[in-house]
Amino acid sequence: MNLKKVIIAIDNQLFRECLQSVLEIADGYEIVGEVSDGLEAIKLIKKLKPDLLILDILLPRLNGLSVLSEVSGKHPKMKTLVLTMNVSEKYVEEAFLAGVQGYCLQDAGREELLLAVSSVMDGRIFISPAVAGAVIKGFLESRKKNGEECEWENITRREREVLKLIAEGYTSKQMGEMLNISVKTVEKHRSNIMKKLKLHKTSELIDYAVRHGLVKPEV
């Protein structure tokens, strides 16, 4: 049997182990690698060229959406299933725009999880009922965007990456090394972020990153 190669990119080790157990029971899948952060995910994808990538949106260092933007065009045959606890309407939208084929919640049962995986591998779109409900509710409510939401949309992908790393406590030098940019460029991004968001302190940036789901509250 030609097994489908799977990479799991989720920061919770216990959940990765449970997911691996579920997939190993099912026929046709081989877990070829697992990582806990976005930068390592990119390296592993380039090295192993998986058939399926299962990843969380809220990965440390580089989030799942940034990972997808880095690898999707270079690995067009790779299928992607988001497996997360984040039901934010904007992240669901951005995930599908980034090219994912499935969006499933981590608290899904075994049957739903296997259905999500098989659907994605068969070329069909999958979205958890709970996620679909949240998206439809938001659509029906037709909420008007407030000022903060407009500011969020003005933040570029690179600026979001820098904001996330600021909230995780990295220095400008460390951020430059991770993102392959100069310290001067990092500081320029920081300055642009503060101007766009009208924020003046690092603590305010951290609070903003948490409220918009770039990092988990415990960070």
Q: 155-169, pLDDT tens digit by residue?
A: 888 999 999 999 999
Residue 132 has pLDDT above 50, yes or no: yes
- Assess whether 155 and 174 both reside in one domain: yes
Angle between helices 157-167 and 202-211 (to 10 degrees): 110
Q: Of 45-54, 139-148, 153-162, which one has max mean pLDDT?
A: 45-54
Residue 218 belongs to some domain of the structure:
no
Q: Record the tokens describing residue 75, joined without a space.
A: 């690995």
Domain CATH for 14: 3.40.50.2300
In a domain, 130, yes or no: yes
* Greater pLDDT, 148 or 15: 15
> Of 85, 111, 139, which one is at a domain's C-terminal end?
139
What CATH number is given to the structural domain containing 194?
A: 1.10.10.10
What average pLDDT does the segment 63-76 reach? 87
Domain limits for position 202: 147-211
**Number of domains the chain is built from:** 2
Same domain, 151 and 171: yes
Is residue 17, in this structure, part of any structural domain at all?
yes
pLDDT at 219 over 50: no
